[in-house]
């Protein structure tokens, strides 16, 4: 017998970041299904996606913010942690099932780390790749948002 779970969206202490438990079906016979509808469940229509996998133990991805691009992170296999930071607050999420996603708005620092050896992270992005959109230096990010102290 399958069980349907409706979507639940939770706010967190980091400005604009949302944790999504997407609508999903758990079916021990046929397998599980997670679904989100662009323009309805998610707040943007993706212009780009990318997938990271095979991340060696202890390696870190991300470590940047975007000026204009929003991103939606889903670990489709295995698990990884996503740390988000708005210059005042930090929060960390363990993405460990394909029905769990994190929305990271523009001007939010994000770090992906603690990847399991089998992790596959899919990222949906609201904009095409634009090198000038990236803020890769944390001190520059803090200066841009007008904060010179690190969040707790």
Structure tokens at 9: 């969206």
Q: How many Å apart are CA 89 and CA 129, to the nearest integer?
A: 27
Question: Do residues 115 and 94 lie in contact, with contact meaning Cβ atoms separated by under 8 Å?
Answer: no
Any catalytic annotation for residue 64? yes
Q: How many Å apart are CA 150 and CA 142, to the nearest integer?
A: 8
The DSSP result for 22-66, as a single string, is -EEEE-TTT--EEE--BTTTBSS--SEEEEEE-PPTT--EEEEEE
Structure tokens at 99: 């029905």
Q: Which listed residue (24, 64, 81, 115) is catalytic?
A: 64
- Residues catalogued as catalytic: 64
């Amino acid at each position: 017998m399958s069980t349907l779970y409706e979507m639940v969206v939770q706010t967190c202490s980091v400005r604009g970041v949302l944790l999504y438990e997407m609508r999903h079906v758990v079916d021990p016979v046929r397998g599980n299904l997670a679904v989100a509808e662009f323009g309805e469940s998610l707040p943007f229509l993706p212009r780009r996606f990318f997938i990271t996998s095979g991340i060696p133990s202890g390696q870190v991805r991300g470590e940047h913010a975007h000026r204009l691009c929003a991103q939606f992170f889903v670990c489709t296999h295995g698990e990884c942690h996503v740390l988000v930071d708005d210059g005042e607050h930090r929060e960390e999420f363990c993405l460990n099932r394909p029905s769990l996603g994190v929305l990271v708005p523009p001007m939010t620092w994000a770090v992906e780390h603690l990847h399991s050896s089998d992790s596959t992270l899919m990222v949906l992005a609201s904009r095409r790749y634009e090198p000038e959109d990236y803020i890769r230096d944390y001190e520059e990010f803090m200066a841009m948002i007008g904060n010179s102290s690190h969040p707790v």
